[in-house]
Amino acid sequence: TQLLEQSPQFLSIQEGENLTVYCNSSSVFSSLQWYRQEPGEGPVLLVTVVTGGEVKKLKRLTFQFGDARKDSSLHITAAQPGDTGLYLCADEGGSEKLVFGKGTKLTVNP
Amino acid sequence: NAGVTQTPKFQVLKTGQSMTLQCAQDMNHEYMSWYRQDPGMGLRLIHYSVGAGITDQGEVPNGYNVSRSTTEDFPLRLLSAAPSQTSVYFCASSYRRNPYEQYFGPGTRLTVT
């Protein structure tokens, strides 16, 4: 069974700082998705990465897929309080059963 | 489009009671799934369906039943509620093709006393 490990588990920073969170898999990704979940709501898809070495940008968020397709990172530049939330990575793994990591809980303080 | 809707938003049950969590989507998605979210455990797959009439078990299926009689609806039934089923439940849907990008409902917060 595929395992997705996310680090760090918790991250608390000041507005304007940069940060990086990580997602590592016990097996090669099929296609990796990053979601953000705000308190009291369901997760919302941010991006999907498929190709090894792929880099995608979404405003101040940069997503990178490792060359070996077993790791991914999410970098946020100049974090804002609106970035606060739980960041989850997920992979389908070829089984039609999505597996989620436990998430990184980010708090951006004004 | 309403997207994925779930009812109720909150529910309190006594041990041994049964209930059904409702989930509906209006995006004509083939793939639907139920997850539970517990503190420190992330999202865990309970059951999923790849189309009407087809369901299968996920990671934590015990104590839950599902059926898929239409493309739109995917109810989750708790047969005999237990305190261990206290959790937040999310329904999600997607097209049945890689990368299975999930659209989530707003969740149901269930407490079993």
- Tens of pLDDT, residue by residue, chain A (110 residues): 788 999 999 999 999 999 999 999 999 988 899 999 999 999 999 999 889 999 999 999 999 999 999 999 999 999 999 999 999 999 987 778 889 999 999 999 99
pLDDT at B19: 96
User: Which of these ranges, A84-98, B19-33, B99-113, has the smallest mean pLDDT?
Assistant: A84-98
pLDDT at A94: 75
Write the single-letter amino acid at A93: G
pLDDT at A97: 85
Q: Do B107 and A41 touch (CB under 8 A)?
A: yes
User: Over chain B, what is the mean pLDDT?
Assistant: 95
Which 8-state DSSP code applies to residue A12? Answer: E
How many degrees, rounded to 5, is the angle at CA A91 between CA A89 and CA A92?
Answer: 150
With a pLDDT cut of 90, the percent of chain B lying above it is 88
Q: Do B104 and A42 touch (CB under 8 A)?
A: yes
* CA nearest to B63, candidates B79, B47, B74: B79
The residue of A9, A35, A72, A96 whose CB has the most chain B CBs within 10 angstroms, and thus the best one to mutate to test that interface, is A96
Quick one: CA dihedral B4, B56, B78, A41, positive or negative?
negative
Residues of A in contact with B90 (CB under 8 A): 42-43
